Amino acid sequence: MSKRPVSLKTLAQVLNVSISTVSRALRNHPDISPELTQRAQQLARELHYSPNPLAIGLLKNATRIIGVIVPALVTHFFASIISGIESVAIERGYYIVIRCSYESFEKEQECLANLLQLRVEGIIMCLSQETSTYAHFDPLLAADIPLVFFDRVCRPAEVPTVVVDNQAAACGITRHFAAQGRRRIAHIAGPPALNISQERVLGYREGLAAAGLLFDAQLLELSDLSADSATAATQRLLALPQPPDAIFGVNDTTAFAAMKEIKRQGRRIPADVALVGFTDEYHATVVEPMLTSVMHPTFEMGRTAALLFLEQATGPVPPRQVVLATQLVVRESSL
C-alpha cells in the first residue's frame, strides 16, 4: 500500500557497505570503525530510519504487544484501568491492543483467540460477567503466555491477579450503615459466579454479624450489574412490607439506578433510605445527594496488572496475588 520505509538495506546502499555492517554501526558495535559508525548514524537520522518491529519481532519471536480484554470500555472504571496499563506499557516499550468482551463469554473466547493470533506477548484481562468456566485459559498456560487478571479473577493458584479488598470494604460499608443507626440493610449483589460478588456478599454478612444484625434473605437482591436490573431490584426491595433503610449497591451503576428509583418513588435519601455504591465513579460527587462510595485505586490497579505481566514476562515466577486497599468515601447519601 504505502511505500516501504527506509531500511538497513537503503542505508547500506548509500554507504556502500553491507547490511550487517550498518546494523552493527547503528548499535555501536566495537567491530565497526568510529568514522563509519558516525556516518551511518548520521545518515540514519537524516533518513529517519527506524528499525522495523515486524522483522525484529519475527527474529526474536516477540511483538512487544500486550492484549487487554475488558468487559466494557465505556465506564470510568475500565477506562481508568486501561489508562494505568497503558502508562507502564509505554514506559517499558510495549504497545497495548484493546478488545472488548461486552460481558459475553463467547466474545471473551473470541477476543482471546484473536489476540493469540496476533501473537501478543501476554494478556491482561477482567472476566466477563457470564464467565463461569475457565478452561479456555488452558492454551495460554500451556504455551507459557503470561496472563494477568484484575478485579474479576479466577484460577488464582496459576494466574497472578490484582484485586481490591472486596470483603473488607463491603464489611466496612455495612458497619458504617449500622453505625448510623440503620437496621434493615439491603445489598444488591452481582452475578454469583464472579469473585467480586461473592466477596462483597461475604463482607456484607460479616458486617451484619459484627453489628449484631441478623441476615435477612429478603434484603439480598441480585443484579447483572446493569442499571435496569438494579432498578428492578430496588423496586422489589422498596415493595417489601418492611423496606430497607439502607441499600448497598454492588457498584456505582447499581447505586445510581437505585438512587433514581428511590427518588422517583418520592422517598428521601438518606432520611428514608441511605445509599452506598462501590467503585467511586467520577460522577459520584455530582449527583444529589452526593453518593457515598468505595474509592478504587483504578489507575494503580492498571499499573499493578501491567507490572505483574512484566514480572511473568521476564522470568516465570510463581503468580502473585496483589490486594489493593480501597477507601470508603462518606458523602451525603449515607449520613
Binding positions for DNA, rule: CB under 7 A? 4-5, 7-9, 16-21, 23-24, 26-27, 31-34, 36, 49, 51-52, 54-56, 58-59, 61
- Cβ pair 288, 268 in contact under 8 A: no
Residues 6 or more apart whose Cβ sits within 8 Å of residue 213? 178, 183, 185
With CB under 5 to 8 Å by kind, the binding choice for 96 among its own copies, DNA, none is its own copies
Grid cell listed for 177: 450503615
Span interacting with its own copies, options 16-24, 67-75, 239-247, 327-335, rule CB under 8 A: 67-75
The reply on whether position 139 binds its own copies by CB under 8 A is yes
Cis peptide before 192 (omega within 30 of 0): no
Residue 185: CB atoms within 10 Å: 26
108/333 Cα distance (integer angstroms):
36
Kindly state the greatest CA–CA separation across the chain.
90
The reply on whether position 283 binds its own copies by CB under 8 A is yes
Q: Which is nearer to DNA, 53 or 156 (CB)?
A: 53
81/6 Cα distance (integer angstroms):
37
Q: Given candidates 143, 179, 239, 271, which one binds its own copies under the rule CB under 8 A?
A: 143
With CB under 5 to 8 Å by kind, the binding choice for 7 among its own copies, DNA, none is DNA
Grid cell listed for 168: 473488607
Q: Which helix (H) or strand (E) holds 187?
A: strand 185-189
Beta bridge partners of 163: 323
Site for its own copies in 99-128 (CB under 8 A): 99-100, 114, 116-119, 121
Q: Given candidates 30, 31, 48, 266, which one binds its own copies under the rule CB under 8 A?
A: 48
Residues that bind its own copies (CB under 8 A): 1-5, 48, 50, 52-55, 57-58, 61-63, 65, 73-76, 78-80, 82-83, 86, 90, 95-100, 114, 116-119, 121, 139, 143-145, 256, 259-260, 263, 281-283, 285-288, 313
